[in-house]
A and B are shown apart, each in its own frame.
Chain A
């Protein structure tokens, strides 16, 4: 049994060393700068955040979970948002989904997935919120992909419900919340063009946690 859990990541460590060498060759001070601090943004996805945005280590603070959900009672994601906004002062929060998401498809199958059920149920809730629109889309793939977009937008809304985001935006005019979808076929990001200001005003009608601010 010990054999089975004995670490053997030689290939990985080799790659890591190559990456370190590449970074150090290109910029001898790279790791010195990194260790001097981080000023990240926040991104949630099932794709490597830094790479697809062409950004370096130290620039993107990352939380990743199944189907980029932001459940209101999930302490995990709420801690990440709180820390990123109140302590790292991120300027942008990105929710990033991706088309052809297996998790979203799994969430819509009539199967008992045990431990995964409560997590994936959040996606079914998004479907229920947009039932008419989604039911009207006849093609399965198109309907799934629209659900993926709506799921991203719902996560944006849940982020905006937090006290940290509302208060920080009121005082500092940041962070701004964005919804993106990554297309695995060509590696491109599509901006869903979430209107942050108007979504914030809309959310605050019921979820206002920044008493100093005005709602319209």
Chain B
């Protein structure tokens, strides 16, 4: 409808094969050198983008499986927990707000061994908490004020693609402004990160990002009020995708630091 000038997008160049196989130097690669050598993020994606397999079998795949397995899951869940669906249909009273990464290897409800209805969830790229982001802001506001959650968890994880990207310097379009807070943390901790091996530095940035996320969350007045008035707890966790185990960060803060936070951020 709208005539546009010739494409300038590199991947539309006629001379290049139009496959989407992951480049070897993917900015998100969490395989070597940023992680263990056996962490091949690109493996599955490269196979799946083989042109031969693109069309055939696209519909007979995980999506079709998922819709079929949903019927089994619903029947089994209704059998094992007969009260669950009738209760869920009347409303939700989750105790936990989970702020985690979109990464498919981090299924929060499964890894916690909990049930539907237990965890209110927001997941985004690299579990980044932007102070002005309306999406996560609305989730936190709703969970704290209207659902009255007792715990807020910010959870990062090992071999995080977003962290790997922020440790590199490749331009990524719309992802760049999203990853900005990660780069800010990188800048503030540059000498520490440079003193570490690539793998250690990536893991350190995962941890620093969780701490930064918690800092942003606890700058919100709704959260500060709930901490003071009803004992809302905040937690920082790191999930190890290679073992399935959650590790809790020590996020104790001094009385002084807390006092400053309340002075600067609490509104009535």
Contacts and interface: CB of A to CB of B under 8 A. Distances in A.
Contacts of A71: 135
A163 to B, nearest CB: 9
Interface in B123-151: 123-125, 130, 133-139, 141-142, 151
Contacts of A116: 138, 141-142
Contacts of B109: 48, 50-51
B49 A172 contact: yes
Q: Classify chain B: how many residues form its interface, as a range.
A: 35 or more
Interface string A68-81: 00010011111110
A50 B40 CA distance: 22
A118 B70 CA distance: 34
B25 interface: no
A138 interface: no
Contact of A187 (B12, B73, B133, B137): B73
A63 to B, nearest CB: 5
A31 B243 contact: yes
B110 A48 contact: yes
Nearest to A50: B107
Interface stretch (A33-41, A128-136, A147-155): A33-41
Contact of B258 (A1, A13, A42): A1
B187 interface: no
Contacts of A75: 130, 133, 174, 177-178
Interface of B: 1-2, 4, 6-7, 9, 11-12, 18-20, 22, 26-28, 36, 38-45, 48-49, 51, 54-55, 58-59, 61-63, 65-74, 77-78, 85-86, 88-89, 91-92, 96, 102-114, 116, 119-125, 130, 133-139, 141-142, 151, 153, 158-159, 161-162, 173-175, 177-178, 227-228, 231-236, 241-246, 248, 251-253, 255, 258
30 contacts: A5-B253, A12-B114, A15-B114, A16-B112, A16-B245, A35-B39, A35-B158, A35-B159, A37-B40, A48-B110, A52-B116, A53-B65, A54-B65, A55-B62, A57-B104, A57-B111, A64-B123, A65-B135, A66-B139, A75-B177, A79-B174, A79-B175, A87-B161, A91-B61, A94-B63, A118-B134, A167-B12, A171-B20, A172-B49, A187-B78
Given A86-B20, A92-B63, A171-B20, 6 more contacts: A37-B40, A51-B73, A63-B123, A75-B177, A79-B175, A80-B125
